[in-house]
Amino acid sequence: AAGLSGLSVGWGLWETSGDGMTGGLGDTDVARMARIGVKAMSSEHGLALLDAAQRRAEPYVLAADLDPRVLAAKSATALPALLRAFANGQGPARPTAAGRPSTDWAGQLAGLTVEAQYQNLLDLVRTHAAAVLGHAGTDAVRADVPFTDLGFDSLTAVELRNRLSAATGLRLPATFIFRHPTPAAIAEELREQLCPAAADPSAPLFGELDRLETVIAGHAHDEDTRGRLVARLESLLWRLGDGAGDGSGDAVAGDDLESASDDELFELIDRELPS
């Protein structure tokens, strides 16, 4: 109201003391921030940054203690946008190629059974979930327990999504963890994306049959045409029955039945029908 200028400070992590801005943070939260390069700063350091901020003309500043070694070790896609400019102290970090995980999961899983594929991916999910939560092992991350019951919140869910996306090369939505609420559900979804079901080789054949059925049903047929169609289709069925259809082409075609001699007809019956 008085028209005075204001200053907004985006604070990083202060040393936890059980109260103040960091009073609600637990060990998991502190570990998560350390993994992205944010260190805890002392009260003396924080107040010195506030004094420095007041001497600047900008209306908004970031005051945080960052670990350049951690920032430099991460690709730009793994860093929050606000921290990318600080990686290596050389401006925006160069992003790594998208979809290029360190492990070729699709190739690694290709020769395995469905159950083995699922189990491998479940181990991957549990390992990363345990790391996000700060557990030393995966025992505390049960496959059928919802992530919310395991201790995940919106921030840790996004971190797990980022880890799984980087590990598999898949583009996963930000809500991925909440759409698939258990490690088992995540593993199955990853398996379906990395190991899509092989296309049915007979699908084109049945598609042609569907098209033929539509064509036949869509035309009116006189008795003569109907009889020729029946004979042709019966001939095809004879070739398919009992593995007789070897593609040799020496069977009498359906539209040749009317012109076939008696000897040719009996020869066809002997060849096509079981004795």
Instruction: State residue 148's pLDDT score.
Output: 92
Determine how many CB atoms are found less than 10 A away from the CB of residue 121. 26
The CATH class, in words, for 105-194 is mainly alpha
DSSP state of 38: E
Label residue 97 by pLDDT band (50, 70, 90).
very low
**Residue 35 to residue 1: CA distance in whole angstroms:** 42
Paired sense of beta strands 60-63 and 8-11, if any? parallel
Ranges of each domain in the chain = 8-89, 105-194, 203-272
Instruction: State residue 168's pLDDT score.
Output: 92
**Residue 173 to residue 178: CA distance in whole angstroms:** 10
pLDDT tens digits, one per residue of 144-184: 999 999 999 888 898 899 889 989 989 999 899 989 999 99
Determine how many CB atoms are found less than 10 A away from the CB of residue 217. 7
**Residue 211 to residue 52: CA distance in whole angstroms:** 77
Show the CA angle centred on residue 92, arms to residues 87 and 96, nearest 5°: 85
Q: Is the pTM of this model over 0.85?
A: no
pLDDT tens digits, one per residue of 9-20: 888 888 866 666
Q: With CA atoms as reference, report the closest residue to 38 among 10, 77, 68, 74.
A: 68
pLDDT reading at 117 higher than 90: yes
pLDDT tens digits, one per residue of 212-266: 888 777 776 788 888 888 888 888 888 877 555 454 545 445 555 556 666 665 5
